[in-house]
Structure 1
């Protein structure tokens, strides 16, 4: 389900203080990168992903692929950073960026 403008604003405010936890570089979306992204989303629900692919068009193609393969929702992109969200079924209050105070 697509996010509303109000939801995106809320998630952007939370994401502003976050650092990227996954970096996607020259090898693109390898199975290891997808698995690490899924694990990070399961733990934190809202994460930043850094793209170091060098080409703007490649980055634009990789972001929707990443979201699709991880069943996540794109909240925002700024430069080489994407903020993505996947609410957990049973969030860990100590790890979740949505429930803990930063």
Structure 2
């Protein structure tokens, strides 16, 4: 799903207050990390991730690869942190309403 500018701004404002739930470490992006990100996206739709100092990937590279492998969209990359968004199929959660 391609996000427009207004939707990205809205998601960035929501992601600002989040703490990272997925960390890319020295093993870079593994299948276990992708599974963890998928579970977090399914539960929350919008997640913040961090890239630790031991990783060979930059935050931009990690965001692009993880977004591709999870089928999500990159919302924002700042420093060692990035945010991902994917609409959840899970019932019973409050979905993020995009403008």
Distance in 2 between the 1:66 and 1:40 partners? 13
Query: Is the contact made by 1:15 and 1:83 (CA closer than 8 Å) also made in structure 2?
Result: yes
Return closer, same or farther for 1:91/1:73 CA change in 2, 3 Å cut-off. farther
| Structure 1 residue 61 displacement after superposition | 2.3
Distance in 2 between the 1:76 and 1:10 partners? 11
Unaligned runs of 5+ in 2: none
Report what 1:2 is aligned to: 2
TM value normalised by structure 1: 0.83
Report what 2:70 is aligned to: 70
Q: What is the root-mean-square deviation of aligned Cα atoms in Å?
A: 1.9
Offset from partner CA, 1:48-98 (integer Å, 9 cap, x none):
00011457x82232221110000000000010111100011235426x6x3
Offset from partner CA, 1:8-63 (integer Å, 9 cap, x none):
010011111110000011000111111000000000000000011457x8223222
**2:35 is the alignment partner of 1:16:** no
Q: Which runs of 4+ in 1 moved over 3 A?
A: none
Distance in 2 between the 1:38 and 1:18 partners? 17
Aligned residue pairs, count = 96
Query: Is the contact made by 1:29 and 1:66 (CA closer than 8 Å) also made in structure 2?
Result: yes
**2:39 is the alignment partner of 1:27:** no
TM value normalised by structure 2: 0.86
